[in-house]
Structure 1
Amino acid sequence: MPELKAIGFDADDTLWHHERYFELTTASFVELLKPHVVGPHLTEHLHAAERRNVLHYGYGVKGFILSMIETAIEVTDNKVPASTIADILAIGREMLQHPVEAFPGVEDTLKSLVGRYTLILITRGDLFDQERKLAASGLAEYFDAIEIVSDKTAPVYRRIFSRHGEGAPRAMMIGNSMRADVVPAIEAGAWGVHVPSEHVWAMDLDDDPKDTSRFRRFTALPEVLPLIEEVG
């Protein structure tokens, strides 16, 4: 029997651009706060707020907006004007409407795998925003299952690949995040394939897995196809 039965795909910065909108919004946030804050460390305060708040608000744009507001309040010692808070909310809403642009070769890669493997979109973040991006991408038709989760851990991957395949040992997870897509998938027993993106969130960084034959790295999604043929 073929070893590979199911293939999981991350969404943000694996199928389409995502993190670059966070970076652009961060730059706008810094500009908004310039009249009220003197100092070069505003982005460090924001990233620290993100790390704290992901445990409370989860991943995604809405948690990021709350982190910007919290940061603005903290760094101005509670003196940030209401008009600036309104501006922060406005740039946050723009993020929730950004266009969805798939990376080159993504659709052709999915087309070549449809019907041969169980294809699963596995993404974390706000349900409404992730559903919006998937619909706008035009890629939903290629997936047999959609899993929007609060976080990606080894137990989560085991459950997903058992529900939609024949278990993690016969599955592969492909994504740009070492911490979320690759390391826990390998811990679950699946293949973990890293396709790095140009823009990477600091909380998605991790060391390469050690002592495993199930880790690979490619520069673009279509390059994964020979590996799939080899193991599948």
Structure 2
Amino acid sequence: MYFRNFLLRALQAEDAAHLTPLLREISLSRGQPLFEPGDTIETLYFPSSACISVVTVMRDGRQIETATIGRESAAALLDAVTGQPTASRIFVQVGGSALALPAQVYRQRMSASLPLVELTLRHARASAQQAELGVGCNLAHPADGRMARWLLMTQDRVGDRILPLTQDYLSVMTGVQRTTVSLMANALKTAGVIDYSRGQLTILDREGLIARACECYPVSERQFEALRSGGD
């Protein structure tokens, strides 16, 4: 069976033989909630074309994204394998397909497979690095550079230049007000880098977007490509 998801594609043959029959193909809708803070992760979601957002919810209701998970990995992987409740809100950012697996099945297989433990740790490490990079990026870089980086990361994970994104979602992802998002999106549209209409954003000039992204994007891209190739 061919997997679009990089983690599943990197499974050793014996691990794949145990897990593949229990995978269930599902369709995820944009905005669909998966987990709330305090939830135990009962199901692992391995996106194929969907993109999942992990956000921290502040006391006043504000949401700040800490991770974006697409075809390179699985959502809430570390919480699932440790059996600990998640501290984040996790929802579908871009609708699409995914494969679902009971978390208990994955944990049981890990207890019998050192290669699966090593693969899981590599992916958990990549998620932690993404969160760390995001903290530094939000503090050090202007909003327009962060937005360009985030759009590129989302395109990498979805595998398509057409992204069904509303300004409300872009506001959460970039951590700025909706009015600021509108100004930045209009500037990119005027420059011919993107097209944006009625909740659908199309990347027209990827190289132009890369030129506008902050210095964190090449780091994110290297992490993504390392997972694609199965390296670390």
TM range (shorter): under 0.3
Q: Compute the TM-score of the two structures, normalised by the length of structure 2.
A: 0.26
Q: Compute the TM-score of the two structures, normalised by the length of structure 1.
A: 0.26
Q: Which structure: larger Rg?
A: 1
Highest RCO, 1 vs 2 (Cα 8 Å, sep ≥ 6):
1
